[in-house]
Amino acid sequence: MKAEKDKKTGKWLIQYRYTDWQGKRRKSTKRGFATKREAEEWLRNFLITQKADFDMKFEDFWKMYCADMETRLREHTMRTKKYIVELKILPYFGNKRVNDITAADIRQWQNELIKMGYSPTYLKTINNQLSAIFNYAVRYYDLKSNPCAKAGSMGKSKAEEMDFWTGEEFRKFIDSVMNKRLSYMAFMTLYWTGMRMGELLALNPKDVDLEKRTISITKSYQRLGKKDVITPPKTPKSKRVITIPEFLAADIKDYMDSLYELQENDRLFPITKYYLEHEMQRGIKESGVKRIRVHDLRHSHASMLIELGFSPLEIANRLGHEKVETTLNTCAHLYPNKQTKLAERLDSEYREDL
């Protein structure tokens, strides 16, 4: 099985035999390689994947997993799975050999993600994707054990009842941070758009269209060690355009005009998560409102939209939730109040007909 020149194209080809998944011996040819070495390296990798030799790299096994599961899962499900694995798992495990990945490695990876401040439900989702790949290896390719099982899970499968501020509570809070313009505008933007903290911190002037009154969400920011890192947003649906009210557009314009020699690729809010958390605690102390997290401003926005009568689908699209179910699960405890009002309306309608 040596590589040779293809007389028709001048490129390299390699002929080979292998045993397919049904145990049958087959012969095939792979063409189009630029060099002999490239052809022989491709064959070595191909034969490893056919045997599912767990000395193979995790990334190669992931490709095998995808090739099989793409025919069995819905396109949307597979797209979401790929997005999570390629963004949160392959950068850490891609070049490791499957046999070498231990429970200790899994725990270290989990700790890194936990430090990034993701929600418990999202952490659980990421962990489930990695565990599913190892379960597949155990079930169909006789990997001895799933290291995720020994490492234990992370996150929670169901969101806890969310904390949020009413409109009156937010007004008291925002008045207490008006003495710092940057803080004021950051919290105003978070509350009135529902965007995530990382999305806010990644914003550039070019993301804001003041004429159309929109903000485009295309990326997310986080601080790792002493390094600023810009990544794609949380999920594919997180890429979205948020419409903003006129008063917020005017505030953002005044804020941008106040920034010295602002360039289109500069960060509008050149601060960190720590800064926002510190400023939030300062505002809470001065205003006397109940203590919530920065992320709960997103919940506060969702609560406001529910009270205004917007549908779960409309809210999910604005928040960048991958599924409407995420919105329903997160905001479920707010809907009983709506159900009570609905029942009262029905009762009133009935009595008017008597």
Question: SS3 letters for 155-209?
Answer: CCCCCCCCCCCCHHHHHHHHHHCCCCHHHHHHHHHHHHHCCCHHHHHCCCHHHEE
Helix axes 58-69, 36-51, angle to 10 degrees: 70
Predicted local confidence at residue 126, as pLDDT: 94
Q: What is the pLDDT of residue 354?
A: 46
For the residues 52-63, what does the mean pLDDT come to?
83
Highest mean pLDDT pick, 39-53, 89-103, 295-309:
89-103
Q: Looking at residues 305-323, what average pLDDT do you find? A: 84
> Bigger pLDDT: 120 or 44?
120
pLDDT at residue 64 is higher than 90: no
With a pLDDT cut of 70, the percent of the chain lying above it is 85
Mean pLDDT of the chain: 85
Q: What are all long-range contacts of 19-27, with beta carbons under 8 Å and residues at least 24 apart?
A: 19/50, 20/50
From the list 336, 125, 56, the residue with the least C-alpha distance to 65 is: 56
Torsion sign (Cα): 230, 232, 238, 239: positive
- Residue 171 has which token pair? 């007004």
Q: What is the pLDDT of residue 25?
A: 80
What is the pLDDT at residue 346? 62
pLDDT at 314 over 70: yes
pLDDT, mean of residues 11-39: 80
**Residue recorded with tokens 């602002």:** 262
Average pLDDT over residues 243-253: 95
Strands of the chain, DSSP E:
3-5, 12-19, 25-33, 208-209, 214-217, 220-224, 227-231, 240-243
Rounded mean pLDDT, 235-251? 91
Q: Among 63-77, 132-146, 260-274, name the most confident range.
A: 260-274
Which is more confidently placed, 44 or 65? 65
Mean pLDDT value across residues 310-331: 76
Query: DSSP readout, 272-284?
Result: -HHHHHHHHHHHH
pLDDT band at residue 158, thresholds of 50, 70 and 90?
low
CA distance 57 to 101: 10
State the Cα angle at 274 between 272 and 276, rounded to 5°: 75
> Which is higher by pLDDT, 21 or 63?
63
161 has pLDDT over 80: no
Q: So what's the pLDDT on residue 159? A: 62
Q: Is the pLDDT of residue 240 over 60?
A: yes
Comparison of pLDDT for 315 and 342, the residue scoring more: 315
Cα dihedral sign, 181-187-189-195: positive
Q: Which pLDDT band holds residue 349 (cuts at 50, 70, 90)?
A: low
- pLDDT reading at 46 higher than 80: no
Q: Where are the domains of the chain?
A: 1-38, 167-337
State residue 180 phi and psi, 5-degree precision: -120, 110
CA-closest candidate to residue 101, choices 52, 53, 58: 58
Q: Is the pLDDT of residue 324 over 90?
A: no
Q: Determine the Cα–Cα distance for residues 194 and 180; give it in Å rounded to an integer.
A: 21
**CB neighbours (10 Å) of residue 128?**
17
- Mean pLDDT, residues 47-70 taken together: 80
Mean pLDDT of 237-251: 93
- Local confidence band at 73 (pLDDT 50, 70, 90 cut-offs): confident
- Rounded Cα distance between 178 and 254, Å, is 14
What span, in angstroms and rounded, lies between the C-alpha atoms of 244 and 166? Answer: 19
Q: Please check whether the domain covering 167-337 is classified as CATH 1.10.1040.10.
A: no
Rounded distance between C-alpha atoms, residue 29 and residue 199, angstroms:
48
| Cα separation, 66 vs 60, whole angstroms | 10
CA-closest candidate to residue 133, choices 143, 118, 123, 119: 143
